[in-house]
Chains A and B, each alone.
Chain A
Amino acid sequence: MNPSSTSSSDREIFLQAIHSLRIGVPIGLWCVLAVFTVLTAIEVVLRVPAVIRTLPVRTHFQQPGVVRRLEALERLVQDQPRLDILFVGSSIVRCNIHPLEFDRSAAALGRRAVSFNVGLSGLWPGPVEFYLEHLWLPTARPRVVVQGIRYGELQPSSRARKEEDIYSGPIESRWRNPTTVNRIEAALLQDIHLLQYRGALPRWLLAHRRGMPGEDADDDPRVITDPRGWTPRLPTLDVVRTRGWVAAERPYSGDLSADSRQVFAAIRASARQTHAAGARYVLVNVPEHSYRWSAPDGPARYRAFIQTMTQLARDEGFEFIDVTQGVPNRFADDADYSDYHHMSPAGAIRFTHMLAREIVTERRPHAEARR
């Protein structure tokens, strides 16, 4: 074996290699161009709503629910240069505020309104602010943002989706850490449909692990949500109470934890983001069943909660609406509820009409003062 080789033969072989590469480039280039053309055609097809509906839900957001709500919102804003009212919050917004009823109620009061509900299960105020800033405000460009809140959301809960899970989503993680590369990647993920199905195949396969498809993180296939984002719940409070399914939902007691400061900060941030986008921000107390305030200190706790939220609104210059006017017993009818905080359709319609009256006709003095 002789490892040595002359430099001239090296050069000849090298030049020969480069020459053969040059000859081959057109064939390879044609192949790449053809594949690129076909992929572009597929990208165009993937934008057709009928095609989107037949394919599995896209995976570019952490929750399939965000994708579904975004698709419905995009369909709505195609015909609307600007959305009038956007409802944001958790499942209490999703189930308790009925946008079509809101629009009807507003029309009856002499105002035309087009509203949409992006409330998502388990979304506490921190992630609500996150999606509001990055997704809902730029997409919907609403005139008014209405955020629903309840006392239980002022502190951490096992009902809330884990924030670290939410922020690990494909787009969410890039928004969370907005380096230049991440911003470009997030923009590509948002705009190129071909990239929005990454992981759809393994997700579908994993759904069969136990033999039956079904995704824990996605409750949309199991419940009906109307085109404006409202999810009705059956009036089942009497049934679930009899069977003890809501035993965990006891009357409120104890003090709020220090974590509630983060919730207030998130609400403030939501208000500021909304104002910065040129929209009106309204915080709404979504009333829970009066049972939650039936402890001896319940009424006092309720008053303190309302006062705190009113003060927060006054300090930040936004509106706070409490349709109960500080009286928890205003929502005490079992027929209005599915459990102690999700309303039945009748309760949702009643509450939505009250809310519409407040939003369409009333102006808060402290909000006006800041304008």
Chain B
Amino acid sequence: MLFNTVEYAVFFAIVLVAYFSLRHRAQNLLLLGASYFFYGQWDWRFLSLLLLSTVIDFSAGLAIQRARERALPRRMKTVLALSVGSQLAILGFFKYFNFFVAGADGMLQSMGFSSSIRTLSIVLPVGISFYTFQTISYTIDIYRGAFLPTRNFVDFALSVAFFPHLVAGPIQRARSLIVQIEKPRVVTIDLWARGLTLFGIGLIRKVAIADPAGALADGYFADPSSYPTVPLICGLVLYGLQIYNDFAGYSEMARGSANLMGFDLMRNFRHPYFAADISDFWRRWHISLSTWLRDYLYVPLGGNRHGRARTHLNLITTMVLGGLWHGASWNFVAWGALHGGYLSLHHVWREWRGRHWPAAGTSSRVRRAGGMLAVYVLVTFTWLFFRAHDTATTAAYLHGLFAFVAGGEGAIVPVLVLWAMTLAIDVPQAVADEEVFVLEWPFAARVAAATAASLVLLASGRMKHEPFIYFQF
């Protein structure tokens, strides 16, 4: 059930009517049932997996707290290890088993052994990477003493399965969501206006920008060798626009849906293509994942506390694992490694500039513009490794990009149109520092914006609904 379908509209309308006719505790039960129904629409079989993950971490949270109260630090550690280990084992089996088996098989064969290890036909449960990371953060936070476990199973289960963020995030920290679940929600007209506007903006991003950009980019990636250089460059830019608007659109629709029920989910994107440097990019892109990786991987690895070399190693390790989080493929590893490399180089550059070039001659505005351009070019180029699902496509695309074959310049037209549409949302958001900037506008401007949005949606809507990219992760 995709957010941009009539099915979701009907489902959500029914949930909302029931939600507002119930009291707080009953609301939680309703939302839990609705969330399991929502998830079951993809595959009912994986509801048991969701339930298993929930039971493991609910029990682990209570067990860690009990051990803390009895001053048993080793038991705390054991329970945490068991909890995190079992969650990672489930994730590893469903997501990475075949990847590592195939890798081991290839390695054995390259060493001259006749290997016959078989891969399994495993279906990837939708959203497993998202809810696994969320539940892991719950037990780690309890272990760290940042948070007390909830004793209400329904509340915890709802925090894991809450349908607006279940299948593609934001990877909400359990502590911020459980607090909202435990208290009665206050739904104001402002929150409704905010939720509806946010949902509308997300819908435009998905339907009017991401889907057409994706349809164009798919053509270039399907057969890169048949296109000259300019359309291939356009293909990369279009994929960058697709993935940004698709995921940001999904996040905004998720947050908008949550707002309509009185919840507040964390912001996942902050105009990432306006980033002035690569570290800034990662503070703006998929914020819930990048902060998760920072808090639960980079910092525990040592962060920047153990010297330069270790900092660089930690950065690259974190980003490679971040890449691997997206899927079991060498392309994601390469994508993560490149970003790790960029971050590492940026650290080196920042240190060097601080020492040798403290008062740069150019104005900060020019420097910022140059930085934005450099980051955009790097990030867009690196999307190639993310999008091309195999090394053959990657190689063919790279060859086409650097072959400098003339022709196809008209392919820039859709890039300009879709970029203009993206800027029409991002610039007012950035200037006003407000996602639902339109609510600040005068009445006539609001009506004009809503009318324009309706017309764009009407002209964009295709009869086929494209799934969100991040559903596959």
B154 (CB) vs chain A CBs: closest residue: A3
Chain A min CB distance to B51 (Å): 21
The answer to whether A205 and B417 have CB atoms under 8 Å apart is yes
**Residue contact B151 to A211, C-beta cutoff 8 Å:** no
CB distance from A47 to the nearest CB of B (A): 15
Q: A198-B462, A210-B408 are in contact. List 8 more A-B contacts (CB 8 A).
A: A3-B151, A25-B189, A31-B450, A35-B451, A42-B455, A205-B418, A210-B231, A211-B230
Indicate which residue in A5, A13, A201, A210 contacts B208 across the interface (CB closer than 8 Å).
A201
Contact A31–B463 (Cβ < 8 Å): no
Interface residues of B in 128-186 (CB under 8 A from A): 147-148, 150-152, 155, 178-179, 182-186
B443 within 8 A of A: yes
**Nearest chain B CB to A327 CB, angstrom units:** 49
Within 8 Å CB of A197, what residues of B? 458-459
Contacts of B463 in A (CB 8 A): 170, 173, 198-199
Beyond A10-B24, A38-B451, is A200–B459 a contact (Cβ under 8 Å)? Answer: yes
Within 8 A of B (CB), among A14-40: 14, 16-18, 20-21, 23-25, 27-28, 30-31, 34-35, 38-39
Asked whether A20 lies within 8 Å of B211 as measured between CB atoms, the reply is no
- 25 CB-based A-B contacts, threshold 8 Å: A1-B182, A5-B183, A9-B184, A11-B23, A14-B184, A17-B188, A21-B188, A24-B193, A34-B443, A35-B454, A173-B463, A197-B459, A199-B462, A200-B459, A202-B462, A205-B212, A205-B413, A208-B411, A209-B216, A209-B220, A209-B231, A211-B228, A211-B231, A211-B408, A212-B410
Q: What's the Cα separation between A7 and B23 when bound, in Å?
A: 8
* B458 pairs with A28, CB closer than 8 A: no
Q: How far is the CA of A202 from the CA of B193 in the complex (A)?
A: 29
Interface string of B439-473 (1 = CB under 8 A from A): 00001001100110011101111110000000000
A213 within 8 A of B: yes
Bound Cα distance A202, B209 (Å): 9
B189's nearest neighbour on chain A, judged by CB, is A24
Residue of B with least CB distance to A37: B447
In the assembled complex, B409 has its CB within 8 A of some CB on chain A: yes
CB <8 Å contact, A39 and B461:
no
Report chain A residues within 8 Å CB of B187: 17, 20-21
Please give, as numbers and ranges, the residues of chain B lying within 8 Å of A39 by CB-CB distance: 451, 454-455
Please tell me if A195 contacts chain B, counting CB pairs below 8 Å.
yes
- The 6 closest A-B CB pairs, nearest first, are A24-B189, A211-B408, A211-B410, A202-B212, A205-B414, A3-B182
Complex Cα–Cα for A123 and B262 (A): 55
Main secondary structure of the interface of A (DSSP, over half): helix
How many residue pairs bridge A and B at CB < 8 Å?
134
| Distance in Å: Cβ of A188 to nearest Cβ of chain B | 12
Contact B184 A21 (CB under 8 A): no
A206 at the interface (CB under 8 A from B): yes
Chain A residues with Cβ below 8 Å from B211 are 202
A173 closest partner in B (C-beta) = B463
Contact present for A201 and B189 (CB under 8 Å): no
**Chain A hits for B302, CB < 8 A:** none
Evaluate contact between B458 and A194: CB separation under 8 angstroms.
yes
Q: Complex: how many Å from CA A119 to CA B444?
A: 48
Q: Does B407 belong to the interface (CB within 8 Å)?
A: yes
* Residue in chain A with minimal CB distance to B453: A35
Q: Cβ of A199 and Cβ of B461 under 8 Å apart?
A: yes
Interface check B296, CB cutoff 8 A:
no
Are B443's CB and A31's CB within 8 A? yes
Enumerate chain A residues within 8 angstroms of B450, measured Cβ to Cβ.
31, 35
- Docked Cα-Cα span, A39 to B447, in Å, equals 11
Q: State whether the Cβ of B219 lies closer than 8 Å to any Cβ in chain A.
A: yes
In angstroms, Cα B193 to Cα A24, docked, is 9
Q: Which of A26-69 contact B (CB under 8 A)?
A: 27-28, 30-31, 34-35, 38-39, 42
**B192 at interface by CB-CB < 8 Å:** yes
Q: A274 CB to closest chain B CB, in angstroms?
A: 30
